């Protein structure tokens, strides 16, 4: 049995004045049309959203109607959309479902990301210290630099992704030492939706899921190897083992990195080249889409990486592609998905 990515839909990423249901409706409608299926043909729905970002309790209730979950089974994942994709794929591989809709959304323009991500840390010992996704990433970058990391490499990654000169990155304001404003990907609004199916009779299925893995590290930063990123390594090992692939079999890689130094760390953890920037991977590249720096919302970024990977296969750019998503302070959780064309 093979899980296929049959439909892709997304909004434009940027500041969006519409409501969350309106955004999600656009992405879902586009994905269903792309797959050639109707809402009635969707067996189950998996959504990814975070209450704190949406300013709601059980924020998935906002989109129950537009995703077609009325009187249907719905699962909600409060992590990155890549984790929701793995959840949906597992449902299909269990044989319980044939066609599942996966949706991720966030409106970062309405939220203070640094204030809200503090709530993912221990409220007694860590929040009082000001730990959040930004300061955790800064501690990670500082540890990497202390172990011989090259600050110029960090500037070069951000410059390449943003299309600016490294000097502009290096002169941008400090947001959390040693991170500067342009070391961080912009946070925007948007939604992404994918239709997954095991029923090849219902849709054109030219992109198959060959392998996937997911791993989450301990809660406290002090209990983790922030530089080695073992969760990313283990997620990749699971995916490679499931697919029967080696890293050299991958032709194109879509990595979800919110900060410039993380693209370097994740690339190494996923067993690709250790140098920075655009790298050759058997004739392909790292993040030809621009990655998170192209402008993706929290929660949506990992699902967007999978969508970009599927589109690379559809267009003939690559046949075997790795897509990656991560979430939590300093990349606490990682998901890796291996997609293949012509399965």
> pLDDT at position 126, please?
86
Number of Cβ within a 10 Å radius of residue 317: 17
Q: Distance of CA 148 to CAs 141, 145, 152, 267, Å?
A: 11, 5, 12, 17
Please report whether residue 93 resides in a domain. Answer: yes
Q: Is the pLDDT of residue 129 over 60?
A: yes
pTM for the predicted model, two decimal places:
0.94
Q: Across the chain, what does the average pLDDT equal? A: 91
> pLDDT at position 203, please?
55
Q: Is the pLDDT of residue 272 over 90?
A: no
Tell me, yes or no, whether 220 and 327 share the same domain: yes
The structural domain count of the chain equals 2
CB-CB contact of 286 with 343 (8 Å): no
Alpha helices in the chain (DSSP H): 20-35, 51-54, 81-93, 113-117, 133-146, 151-162, 166-170, 230-243, 260-269, 301-314
Q: Is the pLDDT of residue 281 over 90?
A: no
**Domain, as residue range, for 325:** 207-341
Q: Is the pLDDT of residue 284 over 50?
A: no
Tell me, yes or no, whether 212 and 99 share the same domain: no
> pLDDT at position 188, please?
93
> pLDDT at position 271, please?
85
**208-249 pLDDT, tens per residue?**
999 999 999 999 999 999 999 999 999 999 999 999 999 989
**69-78 pLDDT, tens per residue?**
998 999 999 9
> pLDDT at position 265, please?
95
Least reliable range by pLDDT among 54-63, 77-86, 137-146: 54-63
Q: Is the pLDDT of residue 84 over 70?
A: yes
State what percent of residues in the chain have pLDDT above 90.
Answer: 80
Q: How confident is the model at residue 342 (pLDDT cuts 50, 70, 90)?
A: confident
> pLDDT at position 204, please?
66
CA 227-119-323 angle, to 5 degrees, is 45
Q: Which of 167, 197, 227 is the last residue of a domain?
A: 197
Please report whether residue 222 resides in a domain. Answer: yes
Please report whether residue 43 resides in a domain. Answer: yes
Q: Is the pLDDT of residue 142 over 90?
A: yes
Please report whether residue 92 resides in a domain. Answer: yes
> pLDDT at position 283, please?
35
Mean pLDDT confidence for 250-276: 87
Joined together, the tokens standing for residue 267 give 């690339």
> pLDDT at position 275, please?
46
Q: Distance of CA 109 to CAs 55, 268, 295, 336, Å?
A: 12, 32, 12, 28
State what percent of residues in the chain have pLDDT above 70.
Answer: 94
Mean pLDDT confidence for 100-108: 95
Please report whether residue 89 resides in a domain. Answer: yes
> pLDDT at position 273, please?
60
| CATH classification at residue 302 | 3.40.47.10
99-107/44-48 β-pairing: parallel
Mean pLDDT confidence for 8-19: 95
Mean pLDDT confidence for 174-189: 96
**288-338 pLDDT, tens per residue?**
999 999 999 999 999 999 999 999 999 999 999 999 999 999 999 999 999
Q: Is the pLDDT of residue 144 over 80?
A: yes
Please report whether residue 107 resides in a domain. Answer: yes
Please report whether residue 49 resides in a domain. Answer: yes
DSSP 3-state helix, strand, coil percentages of the chain (rounded to 5)? Answer: 40, 25, 35
């Amino acid at each position: 049995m093979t899980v296929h990515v049959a439909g892709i839909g997304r909004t434009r990423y940027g500041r969006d004045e519409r409501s969350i249901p309106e955004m999600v409706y656009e992405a879902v409608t586009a994905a269903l049309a792309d797959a050639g299926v109707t809402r009635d043909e969707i067996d189950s729905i998996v959504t990814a959203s975070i209450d704190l970002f949406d300013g709601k309790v059980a924020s998935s209730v906002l989109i129950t109607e537009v995703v077609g979950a009325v009187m249907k089974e719905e699962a909600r994942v409060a992590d990155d959309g890549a984790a929701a994709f793995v959840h949906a794929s597992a449902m299909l591989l269990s044989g319980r479902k044939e066609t599942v809709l996966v949706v991720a959304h966030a409106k970062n323009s309405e939220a203070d990301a640094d204030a809200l991500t503090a709530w993912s840390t221990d409220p007694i010992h860590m929040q009082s210290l000001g730990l959040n996704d930004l300061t955790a990433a800064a501690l990670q970058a500082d540890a990497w630099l202390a172990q011989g990391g090259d600050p110029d490499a960090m500037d070069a990654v951000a410059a390449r992704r943003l299309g600016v000169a490294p000097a502009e990155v290096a002169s941008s304001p400090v947001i959390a030492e040693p991170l500067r404003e342009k070391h961080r990907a912009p946070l925007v609004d948007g939604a992404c939706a994918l239709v997954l199916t095991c029923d090849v009779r219902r849709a054109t299925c030219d992109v198959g899921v060959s392998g996937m893995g997911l791993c989450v590290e301990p809660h406290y930063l002090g209990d983790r190897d922030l530089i080695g990123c073992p969760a990313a390594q283990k997620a990749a090992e699971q995916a490679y083992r499931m697919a029967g692939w080696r890293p050299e079999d991958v032709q194109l890689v879509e990595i979800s990195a919110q900060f410039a130094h993380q693209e370097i760390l994740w690339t190494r953890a996923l067993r690709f080249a250790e140098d920075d920037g655009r790298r050759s991977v058997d004739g392909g590249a790292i993040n030809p889409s621009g990655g998170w720096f192209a402008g993706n919302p929290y929660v949506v970024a990992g699902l967007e990486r999978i969508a970009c990977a599927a589109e690379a296969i559809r267009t003939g750019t690559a046949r075997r592609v790795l897509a990656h998503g991560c979430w939590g302070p300093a990349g606490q959780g990682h998901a890796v998905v291996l997609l293949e064309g012509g399965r």
